[in-house]
Amino acid sequence: MSTVLDDIIVGVREDLADRMRDLPLAAVRYAAAERPAALDAFTALGGADDPRSELKVIAEVKRRSPSKGQLADIADPAQLAREYADGGASVISVLTERRRFNGSLADFDAVRSAVGIPLLRKDFMVDEYQFHEARAHGADLVLLIVAALDDFQLKDFLDLTHDLGMNALVETHTEDEVDRGLAAGARILGVNVRNLKTLDVDRAVFGRLADRIPAGPIVVAESGVRDADDVAEYAGLGANAVLVGEALVTHGSPRERIADFQRRGAAAIAERHHAH
């Protein structure tokens, strides 16, 4: 029986085939090579030498989701991105998957032209073409979903990402996926509390999985953020960063909300360090 993730990937591959017909891999590789070097998203999210006493926010430009449907019209993604950057977001994530999230590379381009901070191309990466394409559009960070890749693909795609000068947010949902991500060499490890097979959210998953992650990788809490209390809870359990979409795009003042998230997150991190 196919899962939600399986169904999404079928559509992603169909759309990808259309783009590959329009622009062959050689042309995309050339365009990627012509871009200025990628920004350092690893350092922006806390890096290796940072005491990681702050909570970083990855703010997402997200129009709709498979679980909630339409979230926000976002007439001007560039303007929203500027608000995110002004509010103190460390990275901006832009959905580029079309069928379930109503995202596009056009949205990504609009955001890239508007802000000078690292950008995450948020999509379902299943083919080498997409990595060169991401870089050609100015991505600094790409998403690798462990559940969608075997160990060989995961390592191969992570190496390709680094060869292109980008970083990868390696997304996990289970203990096994955390172990696989670490074994592949993930430097930025996401724990997504949304089950990609059913789309249910279970916030308790974060603490359980974060406990398995040694010092070193940046730990990103994904999904399930409704308010600053959720952010503080994730930060208290070991998150260095949170990825937030819905709670920002549906809020009247995303700029103030990001600042609030950072404030509460930093307090929870300080409390955690104090307790240890």
> Of 119, 134, 89, nearest to 249 (Cα)?
89
Angle at 158 between CA 206 and CA 262, to 5 degrees: 40
Phi, psi of 219 (to 5 degrees): -105, 120
Q: Which residues of 28-39 are buried (b: 16+ CB within 10 A; e: fewer)?
A: bbeebeeeeebb
Q: How far is CA 106 from the centre of its chain?
A: 18
Best CA proximity match to 58, nearest among 190, 229, 237: 190
Please give the positions annotated as active site: 60, 62, 122, 171, 192, 222-223
